[in-house]
Structure 1
Amino acid sequence: MMSRSDQAPDTSSPASAETGGAAAPQPGSELVPRDEELGATVAALTDDDLGRGGRRRLLSRLVGQVRARGTSSLFKPKAAVRWLTDTVAEIAPHVPIRDRETLRRHFDGLDDDALAERLVRNAVRATAGVGAAGGGVAAVEWVVTPTLLSAPVLLAAETVAVVAIELKLIGELHEVYGVRMPGTAGQRAVVLVRSWAAQRGVNPLLPGVGVGAVLGTAARKELRDRLLRRFGRNLTTLGPFLTGAAVAGFLNGRATRGLGNRIREDLRPGRPAIDD
């Protein structure tokens, strides 16, 4: 597990070796990431041990990667939510999920509930840190024109980062309570995204929630609705100077705490079967 932000791979280049140094798409072109750069940056942002400076640098890198792929669609609400939905689905398989044995070693053998509480607390700190880092970036850009042109990019980057941290939390809480998600990384990612959208734990024995699960029409609508609410909440990042950072950090942390508590209640032994 990465413990320092300067160990994260440099993924800021708009072109990869595989593309032969091809130029980044022009503004207004297709926004959905086609390589692993954004996924690697988001994965690094989920690290528990990131300091404030490292988180801000990674968020700034993420903003640059989003901007390099074109930004015009982010000014259109429906298109922006479609972009968020597609991007979350794409980065989800890159989110690192530690298994139960690794988590116990990392946290000195804590029992299930104590370990779950530590994971929730770390995720709250991380999403609050993203909100504070986003507010810091916004504070700088308030004095750089044209500020409003970069605002949707910052909001999109912050939303993706927060969702990734919460996906990691959901996956690791399932590991803690012995509810492992079978299948490939892509199949597990679908289950995690569905769990995040519903804000519920996953019962892998239910039809449609196992390895063959896909994001059908209803699941994608639920994900879009949830992302729209989160995107709107992140507007607080754009508050004047450090006020935005403080409020965004508080709201992000509160939402993550609520999510973590609901997932824990669903997964604790003796709870009724989770509804689909």
Structure 2
Amino acid sequence: MTGSTPPWKRRSSRGADSGPSDGPHGVRDDERGSSAAGTEPAGSASLEPAGDRADTPVPASRPAPVARRKAIRGRARELAQEGVRRGSDRARTGLAHLTDRIIENAPRIPVRDLATLRRQFPGLGPEEIADKLVAGAVNASATVGAGVGAAAMLPVPPAMPTELAAEVTGVAAVELKLIAELHEVYGVRPLGNLKDRSTAYLRSWSGERGIDVMKPASVNTALGGQMRRELRQQIMKRMVRNMPNLMPFLVGAAVGAMMNRRDTRKLAERIRGDLRGMQVPWDALPALPPLERPADPLRIEGTPDEPRSPEL
């Protein structure tokens, strides 16, 4: 029939891969795969996944993102705590050094006794002389604050603690001198030698109170741990209050002068308030020996030169 396929060109589709193999290795022809299940030529690649192969590298396990964030936060917290601890240790060391420096300077502060003050301010009574002493101390304290503020015109962070320490040391010397001379004017000089009186004045400065010579607790000359803690607290309070003195462009000089003037005046008012209640009239005072002059007197910035006399 025209258009039909001759018999010799026909191929049967049934059982095409079930007959005997004519090619090598059980392959029926070049276009077909193996007719035997589970057999494949040596050296041929398999497309099946190799799940049991020992030479396949195992992927490295990584922590989950949440665990990594927790670890980072924990490490940051540890570093912050370590920084705070080191900063606290440095601050305590600095305060201890500054406290020792003020304690060492206290016996070197030149103090005028009552006889010298009455000669320098003739015709004035106790309150008038006390007013003069407060005015001089206030001006000297303002001078110290202005000097530190001017030095910090362009503040450098590493130098700030040194500038604050210099200011606190200078103002402490001015105020300790004022406290000692106010006690002389009101006739309540503490007993003891130069070192004992200096320690009593340090206690008065740290507590911002006058010394009651009739109460042994207020004249305790032992430089113990409690007194050192009170001194450190007073120094820390002064340093915190003096932080605005480091403002740039000479603003800190004006602020430092104003704040030191105010603080010294406030301290003087408290001391004078206490001393008025214990005041001894001049005519009732026993004859007091002149005060010892320090071997190495401290030069206090802002105070005028005092005349040298045997009574100093």
- Partner of residue 234 from structure 2, selected from 220, 223, 226: 226
1:89 aligns with 2:103: yes
1:166 aligns with 2:180: no
Deviation per CA, 1:57-83: give whole Å up to 9, x if none. Answer: xxxxxxxxxxxxxxxx99922111111
Secondary structure of 2:105 counterpart: helix
- Paired position in structure 1 for 2:141: 127
- Aligned pairs, how many? 193
- Partner of residue 247 from structure 1, selected from 244, 255, 278: 255
Matched residues in 2 for 1:192 and 1:249: separation? 24
Matched residues in 2 for 1:207 and 1:246: separation? 41
Matched residues in 2 for 1:169 and 1:128: separation? 14
Q: 1:240 to 1:269 in 2, by over 3 A?
A: same
Secondary structure of 1:228 counterpart: helix
- Paired position in structure 1 for 2:267: 259
Cα RMSD (Å): 1.9
- Which sections of structure 1, spanning at least 5 residues, go unmatched? 1-72, 272-276
Secondary structure of 2:165 counterpart: helix
Shift of residue 183, structure 1, vs aligned partner: 1.5
Deviation per CA, 1:209-228: give whole Å up to 9, x if none. Answer: 44x62122222211111110
TM-score by length of 1: 0.66
Matched residues in 2 for 1:226 and 1:206: separation? 23
Deviation per CA, 1:147-190: give whole Å up to 9, x if none. Answer: 22222111111100001100000000000000112212111110
Matched residues in 1 for 2:209 and 2:135: separation? 18
- Which sections of structure 2, spanning at least 5 residues, go unmatched? 1-86, 280-312
Matched residues in 1 for 2:261 and 2:278: separation? 28
Shift of residue 201, structure 1, vs aligned partner: 0.4
Paired residues for 1:180-191 under 5 Å: 180-191=189-200
Matched residues in 2 for 1:270 and 1:178: separation? 9
Matched residues in 1 for 2:188 and 2:88: separation? 37
Deviation per CA, 1:30-57: give whole Å up to 9, x if none. Answer: xxxxxxxxxxxxxxxxxxxxxxxxxxxx
Matched residues in 2 for 1:149 and 1:260: separation? 33
Identity between Structure 1 and Structure 2 (%): 44
- Paired position in structure 2 for 1:78: 92
Give the residue type in structure 2 aligned to 1:152: P
More helix by share: 1
Of structures 1 and 2, the larger Rg is shown by: 2
1:152 aligns with 2:161: yes
Matched residues in 2 for 1:123 and 1:91: separation? 17
- Paired position in structure 2 for 1:114: 128
